[in-house]
Structure 1
Amino acid sequence: SLPELAERMRDIDIAMLSTHTENGQIASRPMSNNRDVDYDGDSFYFTFDQSRTVSDIRNNPKVTLAFQSDDTFYATVEGEAKLFTDQPTIQQHWQESLNEWFPDGPETEGVVMIQVNARRIKYWDGLAAGEVKL
C-alpha cells in the first residue's frame, strides 16, 4: 500500500535523484529526504538555486528517485518535481539536520525546496515486487 511504501521510503535517508540535462543526458545525485515523505507519495529535498539540479528541473520536471535500504527493500519513484522558494513552504518542511548544508537555516540565500510528486512507484522487497500508480 502507499502508506507502507511511504513509511519504508522515509526510513531511507538518501535517495538518488535523477534529472534530464539540457543535452538529453541523465544526471543523478544523492539527496537527503530528511525523513519527509508524505503518504500521498510526495517527498521533499533542498538545494541551492544555482545548482544544476534546479536548472535541470526548470527545463524538464520529470525526475526519478531511487531508494535502497540496508536490507532487501528497493524502490524507484517516477514523478514530477516542483521548485519552491517561498519561506512558508520551505519552513513547513525544514528539518534541523539541514543546517549542516544551509548555514543560515531556511533563510539561507538561494535555498530551494524540491517537491517530487510521485506518479508511479515500483518496489522490490526480498522476493516480493509490485507497483503503485498514483
Structure 2
Amino acid sequence: MNEMSLSDVAEKMRDIDIAMLCTLTDGGAIAARPMSNNRDVTYDGDSYYFTWEQARMVLDIERQPTVSLTFQGSKQFAVAVEGKGEIIRDKAQFEQHWTPDLDNWFEDGIDTPGIAMIKVHAERIHYWDGEDDGEVMLS
C-alpha cells in the first residue's frame, strides 16, 4: 500500500468536477445528489457548492451536519469524504468561491435572492487508486 498525503489526494482530485453529496434526511434516509465544484479545485479538506437556500440538502445539513462526498476520477481513482456540512449565507464568502460559470445558474451572481453555499469540511478521506487504498485523517 502506498500512503498518500492530503496534497497527493488533492492533486489527483484536481480534474474531478462532480461529486455526490450525501446527507441524512429527517426520516433517517440517505439522500444523494450530484454537485459541481465549479472547478474550485484547490483542495485543502474543504469543498464548496452553491445551491438554493430552500433546497432539501440545506435543511438536512442544518438539522444534521454529518455528510459525505464521493468522487470518481480516471484510471480507477476514487475518493470518499466524511465530514461536516455548513450552510454559508455570507456574500463575501460567496465571492471567494464564485466562478463565471455560476452566472448560468444564479442570474444576479452573488446577489441572487435565495442563494446559499454549502461548505463541507472533511474529517476523514478514504481513497482508492487502482489496487492501492488508504486514509487521510483531518481534524
Cα displacement string for residues 34-92 of structure 1 (whole angstroms, at most 9, x for unaligned residues): 22244431111010000001000011000000000132100000000111111101111
TM score, norm. by length of structure 1: 0.95
Asked whether the equivalents of residues 37 and 44 of structure 1 are also in contact (C-alpha less than 8 Å), the reply is no
Name the residue aligned to 1:85: 89
Asked whether the equivalents of residues 10 and 33 of structure 1 are also in contact (C-alpha less than 8 Å), the reply is no
How far is 1:9 from its partner? 2.1
1:7 aligns with 2:14: no
How far is 1:93 from its partner? 0.7
Name the residue aligned to 1:34: 38
Q: Which runs of 4+ in 1 moved over 4 A?
A: none
Distance 2:106 2:75 in 1: 31
Distance 1:79 1:37 in 2: 17
1:54 aligns with 2:88: no
Structure 2 counterpart of 1:95, from 86, 95, 99: 99
Structure 2 counterpart of 1:21, from 21, 25, 31: 25
Q: Structure 2: which 5+ residue stretches go unaligned?
A: none
Q: CA RMSD in A?
A: 1.1
The more displaced of 96-105 and 23-32 is 96-105
Q: How many residues align?
A: 134
Q: Structure 1: which 5+ residue stretches go unaligned?
A: none
Aligned residue identity for 2:125: I
Indicate the structure whose relative CO is greater, using CA pairs within 8 Å and at least 6 residues apart. Answer: 2
How far is 1:3 from its partner? 1.1
How far is 1:97 from its partner? 1.1
TM score, norm. by length of structure 2: 0.92
Distance 1:38 1:80 in 2: 19
Identity of matched residues, %: 55
Secondary structure at the aligned position of 1:35 is classed as: coil
Name the residue aligned to 1:113: 117
